């Protein structure tokens, strides 16, 4: 049984807030279509880092369990050309060159037919407008990470090139999320085990990048840090300016982060449906691990910077940003998601977020 929940979740009385302090005044949650929020509520050129994890064009609908067999529909990832796509194209028309590039891409995606037909075109038109709105919100020193998967990743990369400029491409990161099972292991093809992060700068070279490190593997340590000094510390020798120097293992930062991430596992199933030992799992479909967001935020922003997630789901990006001392903005079009994010921030970060735009009644 699927129950479509829209307003009931926001008609609840707001929870008592006396024991939780408010978040930083610059931080907040917005309910609504991110295209509207980005263009009406966010000052142009004000955001340091955008992470977005939009629907991937998976042709599925996503539900959360309500107990027993009942489910609530949270978001749909099936696409048809509608008024929303017309409005998206209208928004893009203010940038004529970009508009033409997007039209060309839509024709290509539609197999040469005029835009207006298939699901992929509808998806890309929707994404193009929202990615363009992200570009307008980013600072000159800012960067953006678009989370996607191989379903439409190749089209999205062309879109990102058109919107941000190919010369501002930072990296395509492959996130290998762990052991695939279930539906992912079916079909006459290799098992899907990764998603993609397309990272672009507003202006490459001006963007923030704090080098991150991952721990050395045991093999690496055994192969390279083979010497032990009189105090029992492991080291290797290196040649610097013609001199042999010691590099101690306990003073070494690790391996500089590459663009293939294999050390962060996905969250399994949904809390309430499958037994899970993962405490951070809130049961929101497509919830991403906190460690993934922490890595992105540490690499591409500094404390005090403003981090924005326009497709924020259950708020992984905003929890990570808050814990790392950044200001943050989370946007989602589902009241259920905004409700969950507010609860998450109260319970896990001890702050009461400012929420804008939540509809409290039908009008
Ligand atoms: C893949 S989920 C994000 C999950 C999130 N990264 C997390 O860790 O919980 C995508 C989210 O985008 C939201 N969404 C879809 N279209 C949107 C739009 N136009 N504006 C804002 N949010 C939107 C959906 O409601 C959904 O919560």
110 lines ligand 1 (CB under 6 A): no
Counting Cα atoms < 13 Å in the Cβ hemisphere of 47 gives 29
Burial 251-264 (b: 16+ CB within 10 A, else e): ebeeeebeeebeeb
Mean of pLDDT values over 5-30: 62
282 and 222, same domain (yes or no): no
CA nearest ligand 1 atom 7, residue: 287
Is a pLDDT exceeding 60 seen at residue 252? Answer: yes
Q: From atom 18 of ligand 1, which residue's Cα is the shortest distance away?
A: 33
pLDDT reported for residue 117? 58
- The answer on 322 and 245 residing in a single domain is no
pLDDT for the residue 298: 98
Contacts (Cβ under 8 Å, ≥6 apart) of 34: 130, 133, 310, 311, 331, 333
Q: State the pLDDT at residue 279.
A: 78
Q: Whose CA is nearest to atom 13 of ligand 1?
A: 311
- The two three-digit tokens of residue 289, written as one number: 């691990």
Pick the closest to residue 50 from 74, 31, 34 (CA basis): 34
Predicted confidence (pLDDT) per residue in 256-308, tens digit: 999 999 999 998 755 444 445 567 888 888 999 999 999 999 999 999 999 99
**pLDDT for residue 75:** 80
**Residues 161 and 249 reside in one and the same domain:** no
Given 254, 272, 305, the domain boundary residue is 254
Higher-pLDDT residue of 226 and 117 is 226
Question: Is 148 a pocket residue for ligand 1 (Cβ < 6 Å)?
Answer: no
Q: What is the pLDDT of residue 340?
A: 92
Instruction: Please give the DSSP secondary-structure letter assigned to residue 117.
Output: S
> What pLDDT, on a 0 to 100 scale, did the predictor assign at position 355?
95
Per-residue pLDDT for 10 more than 50? Answer: no
Q: Is the CB of 195 under 6 A from ligand 1?
A: no
pLDDT at 4: 44
Q: What number of CA atoms fall less than 13 Å from residue 93's CA on the CB side? A: 7
Per residue in 100-121, is it b (16+ CB within 10 Å) or e — as a string? ebbbebbeebbeeeebeebbbb
The pLDDT confidence band at residue 1, using thresholds 50, 70 and 90, is very low
Q: Is 286 in the pocket of ligand 1 (CB under 6 A)?
A: yes
Q: Confirm or reject: Cβ of 152 under 6 Å from ligand 1.
A: no
Using CA atoms, how far apart are residues 322 and 348, in angstroms rounded to an integer?
10
Q: How far is the CA of 337 from the centre of ligand 1 (A)?
A: 8
CA distances from 313 to 30, 31, 153, 283, 360 (A): 12, 11, 20, 11, 20
CA torsion, ordered 128, 131, 135, 139, to nearest 10 deg: 180
Decide: pTM greater than 0.85: yes
Q: How confident is the model at residue 116 (pLDDT cuts 50, 70, 90)?
A: low
Q: What percent of the chain has pLDDT over 90?
A: 70
288 lines ligand 1 (CB under 6 A): yes
Contacts of 358 (CB under 8 A, 6+ apart): 10, 31, 335, 338
pLDDT digits (tens, 9 = 90+) for 215-236: 999 999 999 999 999 999 999 9
First to last CA, the chain: 28
33 lines ligand 1 (CB under 6 A): yes
**CA–CA separation, 189 vs 98, rounded Å?**
36
With cut-offs at 50, 70 and 90, classify the pLDDT of residue 191.
Answer: confident
Atom number of ligand 1 nearest to Cα 314: 9
Q: Which of 10-14, 19-23, 172-176, 326-330 has the lowest mean pLDDT?
A: 10-14
The average pLDDT across 152-174 equals 98
In this prediction, residue 269 carries a pLDDT of: 57
Do 227 and 261 lie in one domain? The reply is no
Q: How many domains does the chain divide into?
A: 2
pLDDT one-digit tens code per residue, 320-340: 999 999 999 999 999 889 999
Residue 224 and residue 283 in one domain: no
**Is 332 strand, coil or helix?**
strand
Tell me, using a 6 A CB cutoff, whether residue 330 lines ligand 1: no
* 148 plus 51 within the same structural domain: yes
| pLDDT confidence of residue 180 | 66
- Tell me, yes or no, whether 219 and 100 share the same domain: no
Answer whether 335's CB lies under 8 Å from 8's CB.
Answer: no
User: What's the CATH code of the domain at 102?
Assistant: 3.40.50.150
Q: Give the domain extent around 240.
A: 215-254
65 forms beta bridges with 71
Mean pLDDT of the chain: 88
In short, whether 56's Cβ falls inside 6 Å of ligand 1 is no
Q: Look at residue 346 and tell me if it is in a domain.
A: yes
Domain end (from 254, 279, 305): 254
C-alpha 351/C-alpha 79 separation (Å) is 36
* Segment among 82-91, 217-226, 271-280, 345-354 with least mean pLDDT: 271-280
Pocket-testing residue among 53, 54, 128, ligand 1, by greatest number of atoms within 8 A of Cβ: 54
68 belongs to a structural domain: no
218: CA distance to ligand 1 center in Å? 39
**Same domain for 232 and 279?**
no
CB-ligand 1 contact for 299 (6 Å cutoff):
no
Residue 241 in tokens = 């300016």
Calculate what percentage of the chain has a pLDDT beyond 70: 87
Contact indicator for 248, 235 with CB cutoff of 8 Å: yes
């Amino acid at each position: 049984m699927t129950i479509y929940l829209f307003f009931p979740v926001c008609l609840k009385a707001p929870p008592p807030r006396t024991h939780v302090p408010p978040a930083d005044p610059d931080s907040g949650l917005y309910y609504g279509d991110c295209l509207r929020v980005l263009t009406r509520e966010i000052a142009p050129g004000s955001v340091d880092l955008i992470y977005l994890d939009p629907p991937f064009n998976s042709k599925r609908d996503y539900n959360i369990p309500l107990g027993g067999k009942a489910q609530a529909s949270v978001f749909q990832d099936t696409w048809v050309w509608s008024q929303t796509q017309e409005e998206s194209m209208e928004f893009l028309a203010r940038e004529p060159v970009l508009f033409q590039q997007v039209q060309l891409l839509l024709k290509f995606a539609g197999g040469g037919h005029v835009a207006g037909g298939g699901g992929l075109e509808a998806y890309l038109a929707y994404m193009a407008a929202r990615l363009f709105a992200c570009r307008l919100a980013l600072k000159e020193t800012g960067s953006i990470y678009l989370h996607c998967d191989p379903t439409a990743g190749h089209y999205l990369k062309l879109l990102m090139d058109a919107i941000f400029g190919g010369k501002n491409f930072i990296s395509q990161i492959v996130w290998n999320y762990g052991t695939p099972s279930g539906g992912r292991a079916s079909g006459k093809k290799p098992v899907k085990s990764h998603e993609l992060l397309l990272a672009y700068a507003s202006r490459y070279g001006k963007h923030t990048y704090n080098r991150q490190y991952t721990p050395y593997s045991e093999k690496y340590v055994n192969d390279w840090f083979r010497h032990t000094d009189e105090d029992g510390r492991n080291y290797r020798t290196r040649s610097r300016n013609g001199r042999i120097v010691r590099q101690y293992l306990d003073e070494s930062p690790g391996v500089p982060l590459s663009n293939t991430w294999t050390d962060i596992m996905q969250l399994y199933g949904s809390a309430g449906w499958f037994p899970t030992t993962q405490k951070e799992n809130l049961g929101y479909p497509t919830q991403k691990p906190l460690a993934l967001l922490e890595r992105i935020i540490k690499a591409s922003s500094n404390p005090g910077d403003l981090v924005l997630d326009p497709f924020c789901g259950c708020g992984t990006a905003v929890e990570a940003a808050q814990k790392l001392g950044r200001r943050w903005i989370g946007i989602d079009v589902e009241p259920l998601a905004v409700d969950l994010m507010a609860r998450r921030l109260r319970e896990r970060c001890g702050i009461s977020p400012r929420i804008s735009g939540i509809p409290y009644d039908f009008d």
